[in-house]
Amino acid sequence: MVADAIRWAIPALLVGGILRILFVSYMPYALWGADSRSFFVFTHKLFLNHSFSLGDKRRYLYPLLMAPMAALPGGVLRWLPIFQHLLGWVTLVPLAYVIRKSFVRWQLWIIPITILYAGLPEVLWCEHELLADNVFFALFLWTFAGWTAWITQKDPTRSRRVFWFFFVAFALFILTKPSGRFVWPGLAIGTLMTQAWRNFGWRQITAIVLLMGVSLTVGSKRQGSQLFYTSVFPLTRLDTPLHADYKAEIRDSVEHYRNNLEYFHAMQDGDLFYFLRDPGEQDARPLWKALGKDDNLKVKIYMDLALEGIKARPDLVFYLGLQRVVFDANLSAYGLSHFADGGYVDRSALYYNEAVKDEKSPLRLAFGLPPHGPLPPYSEFAHHLEPAPGSWAARTVQTWVASYGTKFDYFRYPKVPKNESKLSLVRPTFLGIWMLLAMGCAFLPRYRNTLGIWVIISVLQVFAVYSVSLVNVHYFAVVWPVLFVTMAIPLDALLARFIRK
């Protein structure tokens, strides 16, 4: 079946390979974005001070991957697109394997689904950025394929051997980003439903327990508590004694967001996000300002207030999470301006100028610039970032990503400004209704142990992340391959029934 998957994935590999080669040809450097610094700080300290220190915010896999690339000539941002695009390209094979293993008439679905994913704009761009998301997406798919291979084994001895293909991919996935831990509940449900645990030996059990322990060390409590409280801020109970003095200072803000609950998905990443991230940067609320100097107390207060609000109104937690899911569940929700000519040059100017002023800036190491001495002005360096804007290669990639448009949208959003959009105005598209049907069909006996379980995993993952975090299309993007595969189930089930007759 692996041979079939490779052979039938060739069209997608060709399409995906051409797109990635063209992309790198006119934009050879990976993007350094707002979150790149936190992923690169380990490598920077390693090369600058020879210190080995992994911060709790960005553990483990991705920061460690940056170090060997920094030793290569040309800079990390020059080599990173090659590595990440290659990983995304190879990941088309496990996607093909899942389709080959799961469907009756797999020959009908394997080429269109793999091509669809091969050029997915959001994945294509994330592969071109110093950000762990692209590796996270790929490892999710490898874990999906590993589960499919493992769970379909009938012989207990072979099942225990194949388990390690699944486990290695899952371990790397769970150790890439803290949001990966939300896959645990779905996998637990799947293991019980399939009774896969009956084939576990002591090695499998030990490995799972150890991974659970290590996964608890991934992520920052400070950042986690801030995102958690931000996501449920309007549920703060103002008239209870718990931290009453702190509540008194934010009463006006809580009431404001509570009175605009329908629009909270579009409001929380503005002033509220920055206030809770850095309460010490403002002067209007003295008690909260003092929290800027006491991270431990800040974490405690954020968690206490968030949990108190959740216990009082768990229904509203689901409602707020549903808002965020629905408004990120369309392919068109991802802005395609990233691929526009000149966009990379404009976004990189600030970071390059930082490297000019500060010899200790991590940007020097990332761009492969001299570690000491003056640097040429940005106007002389910018052409390295986009050597061929407007070229046929750039136009080809831009035309491809624009072709996705709204064709794969599950919801029709109201034609109003973002801050006026609310859940009651959203309507499902035909594809959205079809997806609900497909998810139901995923629990037919033929598909239940593979695709059905991963529908459960994906739904729980998405809702769990969005219930404790902000609107961010990257949180939804990880499950796109599962959804693409799921859409073929109703037709495959009908064909399977027709063939039997």
pLDDT tens digits, 301-316: 999 999 999 999 999 9
What whole-number distance in Å separates Cα of residue 60 and Cα of residue 70? 17
**Can you tell me the distance from the alpha carbon of 402 to that of 328, in angstroms, rounded to the nearest whole number?**
18
- Residue 121's CB is within 10 A of a number of other CB atoms, namely 22
Q: Which residue has the tokens 């850095």?
A: 278
Report yes or no: 489 and 438 within 8 Å, Cβ to Cβ.
yes
Residue 200 CA: distances (Å) to CA of 38, 109, 143, 150, 290: 38, 33, 18, 12, 51
Do residues 130 and 36 lie in contact, with contact meaning Cβ atoms separated by under 8 Å? yes
How much is the CA Rg of the chain, to the nearest whole Å? 24
Residue 52 pLDDT: 73
The DSSP result for 83-150, as a single string, is HHHHHHHHTHHHHHHHHHHH-TTHHHHHHHHHHHHHT-HHHHHHTTBSSTHHHHHHHHHHHHHHHHHH
Instruction: Read off the pTM.
Output: 0.93
Separation CA 331–CA 16 (nearest Å)? 18
Average the pLDDT over 269-275 and give the result: 83
What is the predicted pLDDT for the residue at 500?
Answer: 65
129 φ/ψ angles, rounded to the nearest 5 degrees: -130, 145
Determine the Cα–Cα distance for residues 70 and 113; give it in Å rounded to an integer.
36
For residue 427, list its beta bridge partners. 412
pLDDT in tens, 465-488: 998 888 888 899 999 999 999 999
Tell me the CB-side half-sphere exposure of residue 73, using CA atoms within 13 A.
Answer: 0
pLDDT tens per residue across span 421-463: 888 899 999 999 999 999 999 999 999 999 999 999 999 999 9
Handedness of CA 266, 307, 466, 137 (dihedral sign): positive
pLDDT in tens, 334-380: 877 778 888 888 888 888 888 888 888 888 888 888 888 888 888 88
Retrieve residue 126's tokens: 């994330």
Is pLDDT at 242 greater than 90 in this prediction? yes
Contact by Cβ (8 Å): 215, 171: no
What percentage of residues in the chain have a pLDDT greater than 90? 56
**Both tokens assigned to 32:** 């350094």
Averaged over 101-108, what is the pLDDT? 94
Distance between CA atoms of residues 439 and 448, nearest Å: 10
Q: Give the three-state DSSP class for 428.
A: strand
Q: Supply 369's token pair.
A: 């610039």
pLDDT tens-place string over residues 75-93: 899 999 999 999 999 999 9
Backbone angles phi, psi at 327, to 5 degrees: -85, 5
Name which of 323, 337, 378 is nearest 356 in CA terms. 378
Alpha carbons within 13 A on the beta-carbon side of 111: 7
- pLDDT score of 416: 83
**Distance between CA atoms of 32 and 178, rounded to whole angstroms?**
21
DSSP symbols for 267-322: TIIIIIHHHHH-GGG-SS-HHHHHHTT-HHHHHHHHHHHHHHHHHH-HHHHHHHHH
Kindly report the average pLDDT of the chain as a whole number. Answer: 90
Q: Which residue has the tokens 């629905």?
A: 326
pLDDT at residue number 40:
87
The residue behind tokens 């229904």 is 315
Q: What is the identity of the amino acid at 446? A: R
pLDDT band at 224 (very low <50, low <70, confident <90, very high): confident
pLDDT at 501 over 60: no
| Cα(187)–Cα(147) distance, integer angstroms | 9
Tens-digit pLDDT profile for residues 5-63: 999 999 999 999 999 999 999 999 999 888 888 888 888 888 877 777 776 667 788 98
CA 54 from chain centre, in angstroms, equals: 21
State the Cα–Cα distance between residues 318 and 341, nearest whole angstrom. Answer: 40
Q: What is the pLDDT of residue 147?
A: 96
- 10-14 long-range Cβ contacts below 8 angstroms, 24+ apart: 11/111, 11/114, 11/115, 12/92, 12/96, 12/111, 12/114, 12/115, 12/117, 12/118, 13/89, 13/92, 13/93, 13/118
Q: What is the dihedral of CA 314, 315, 317, 320, to 10 degrees?
A: -170
Q: By three-state DSSP, how is residue 402 classified? A: helix
| pLDDT on residue 117 | 96
Q: Which of 2-6, 134-138, 288-292, 331-335 has the highest mean pLDDT?
A: 134-138
C-alpha to C-alpha distance for 355 and 358, rounded to whole angstroms: 5
First to last CA, the chain: 26
- Residue 488 backbone dihedrals phi, psi, to 5 degrees: -85, -10
